[in-house]
Amino acid sequence: MEIIHDITSCKTCIYRTLLFNSLTPEELDSINKSKREIKYRRGEVISRQGQEIKEFMYLKTGLVKLYRTEEGYKDQIISISKPGDFVTLLSIFSGSNYKYSIAAIEETVICAVRIDSFKAVINTNQAFVTDLLGKMSIMYDGIIETKFNITKRHLRGRIAYILLYFAEHLYENNKFDLPISRREIAELIEMTTENVIRILSEFRRDGIIEIDGKNINLVDPDRIKKICQLG
């Protein structure tokens, strides 16, 4: 990681409207003063499950994964966050320690606000909390829905689902570079690495996708959608 010294002011930050729009100039100033920006390299752990939460964080650029770890079990990826997402929101109000680990899966810049400043605004600004409530709820419900969508499917359907997720939700393009390894895909959709590879190869043999290392091209999205629905 690397602390960025030439940080953006909140007042000109493109993500300001996402959450901080209801803040008074004074509140925004207080947030601005207690924040820092940090750059993480691909693979670096940003925060670890169980650690004390000291900052509220959100993503400016890059991609991160939220995941759970437990001795003796495989890691499980809870969600993938993209710029503008509030990655610490899932832990920050249910206790003083992280419930999930966070790691960068691409080079990532995080904006981090000291937790005391963040909570101070919560106690003074009504609109802000209410807004937060909605954002948090949507985020949680999204995770539950995605997990539901994954576990109800068979392996072929899961792979189809996650390919469409990357194409439609993350990259908005049928051609993209896989941000995560085969093993991480396995951790995300709850199956083994071998079967991820096997089914991807199968899709390639059937001519519905093209693979070159991390680069994926969904040649026949309609058929992938069909597999997603039926498989």
Partner DNA sequence: CGCGGCTTTGATGTTCATCAAGTAAAGTGG
Partner DNA sequence: CCACTTTACTTGATGAACATCAAAGCCGCG
Residues 110 and 37: beta-carbon distance below 8 Å: yes
The single residue among 59, 63, 87, 90 that binds a copy of itself, judged by CB under 8 A, is: 90
Residue closer to DNA (CB basis): 28 or 185: 185
| CA–CA gap between residue 209 and residue 163 (Å, rounded) | 10
Residue 33 touches which member of DNA, a copy of itself, none, C-beta under 5-8 Å by kind: none
The single residue among 9, 17, 97, 137 that binds a copy of itself, judged by CB under 8 A, is: 137
Q: How far is the CB of 228 from a copy of itself (least distance, A)?
A: 13
Kindly tell me the burial class for residue 52, based on how many C-beta atoms sit within 10 Å of its own C-beta (0-12, 13-18, 19 or more).
exposed
The single residue among 122, 190, 221, 225 that binds DNA, judged by CB under 7 A, is: 190
Interaction of residue 193 with DNA, rule CB under 7 A:
yes
Would you state the structure tokens that stand for residue 106, as one six-digit string? 């691409």
Whose tokens are 């600004």? That residue is 125
Q: How far is the CB of 99 from a copy of itself (least distance, A)?
A: 5
Interaction of residue 169 with a copy of itself, rule CB under 8 A:
no
**Residues 134-163 within binding reach of DNA (CB under 7 A):** 154-156
Helical spans, DSSP H, in the chain:
16-19, 25-33, 89-92, 115-124, 126-151, 155-164, 182-189, 193-205, 221-230
Q: How far is the CB of 185 from a copy of itself (least distance, A)?
A: 16
Widest CA span in the chain: 60
| CA–CA gap between residue 46 and residue 1 (Å, rounded) | 8
Residues 30 and 7: beta-carbon distance below 8 Å: no
From residue 57 to residue 96, what is the string marking binding to DNA with x (rule CB under 7 A)?
----------------------------------------
In the chain, helix, strand, coil percent, each to 5? 45, 25, 30
Residue 22 touches which member of DNA, a copy of itself, none, C-beta under 5-8 Å by kind: none
Residue closer to DNA (CB basis): 73 or 134: 73
Contacts of residue 222, Cβ cutoff 8 Å, sequence gap at least 6: none
Residue ranges in contact with a copy of itself by CB under 8 A: 68, 70, 73-74, 76, 78, 90-95, 99, 122-124, 126, 129-130, 132-134, 136-138, 140-141, 143-145, 147-148, 151-152, 190
Residue ranges in contact with DNA by CB under 7 A: 154-156, 181-183, 190-195, 197-198, 200-201, 211, 213-214
